[in-house]
Amino acid sequence: MPRFFIRKEQISDGIVHIVGDDAHHIARSLRMAVGEHITVCDMQRSEYDCVLTEFIDDTKVLARILSERSMDTEPPFIAHLYQALPKGDKLDTIIQKAVECGVTTITPFESERCIVRCKPDQEEKKTQRRSRIAAEAAKQSGRGCLPEVNPTISYAAALEQAKGADIPLFCYEGDATVPLRSVLREKLASLPAGQLPTVSIMIGSEGGFSVDEASAAAQEGFLMVGLGKRILRTETASGFVLSCLVYELEL
């Protein structure tokens, strides 16, 4: 059944108002008709079975809610991924797989060893495309919330944003790291029962982080974690960490 994400305010008196690209997709690409069924998610962990009731040209489609239920596909954590810009189209893959693994937000950033650099005149277009990749992955994997992809920021800004999480992880291959499993179990055990933990995950580019960058992160209170005895590619690391979170908290 086709799946769409809306804002809660698009629901009024049991009717869902679907507008913009989604309405065009229903009317033109899918060629759906009145009486057909869709699934709608309100991005607040609720989903609705709906029947299409009216097409208002290509810009608005109305659907009546038949039933509502709480989502059970969202993970029991809030994960913010901060990914140093990788080469080529690797970020597309990283976004797709991170969404499938339960990420909440994805924020690219520039670090010292990034080969690719942000081009301000292209950033808006790239962010829109990356957001579409996240949306498609969310629909395919049955997510109840639509993960947000943010514009590229600086390394300093990434540190400032990420350090406020309950569990701020800095994935590093250098010395003085602690195994991820140990960090997760210790920190999760220290949180109040029933609290939805927030986790920030900082991943370097192909060349990893510099010593100075790692030092700055440690001074800001990040947990310096290792990801095992093997070296992971940058496009593998975030999915690995998210999978570990899912194992600890969900499986």
- Residue 126 CA to residue 5 CA, distance in Å, equals 21
- Residue 172 CA to residue 225 CA, distance in Å, equals 6
* Right CATH for 3-70 from 2.40.50.140, 3.30.530.20, 3.40.50.2300, 2.40.240.20: 2.40.240.20
Please name the residue ranges forming H helices in 5-149: 20-24, 90-100, 120-141
- Residue 159 CA to residue 136 CA, distance in Å, equals 29
Kindly report whether the global pTM for this prediction surpasses the value 0.85: yes
| DSSP single-letter state for residue 26 | I
Contact between residue 16 and residue 65 where contact means Cβ atoms under 8 Å apart: yes
- pLDDT at position 57 is 79
- pLDDT at position 176 is 76
- pLDDT at position 248 is 93
- pLDDT at position 70 is 87
**Residues 181-204 as b or e (16 or more Cβ within 10 Å = b):** eebbeebbeeeeeeeebbbbbbbb
Contact between residue 224 and residue 218 where contact means Cβ atoms under 8 Å apart: yes
Q: What is the DSSP string of 201-244?
A: EEE-BTTB--HHHHHHHHHTT-EEEE--SSPPPHHHHHHHHHHH
Structure tokens at 24: 């065009």
- Residue 56 CA to residue 73 CA, distance in Å, equals 32
Number of Cβ atoms within 10 Å of the Cβ of 217 = 23
- pLDDT at position 14 is 96
Q: Tell me the average confidence (pLDDT) per consecutive run of 10 residues in the chain, 251 residues long.
A: 91 95 92 96 90 91 95 92 97 98 98 94 96 94 93 98 98 88 93 93 96 96 94 96 95 88
Q: Which fold has domain 78-249?
A: Alpha/beta knot (3.40.1280)
Residue extent(s) of CATH 2.40.240.20 domains in the chain: 3-70
- State the first-to-last Cα distance of the chain, in angstroms, to the nearest integer: 26
- Residue 115 CA to residue 40 CA, distance in Å, equals 40
Residue extent(s) of CATH 3.40.1280.10 domains in the chain: 78-249
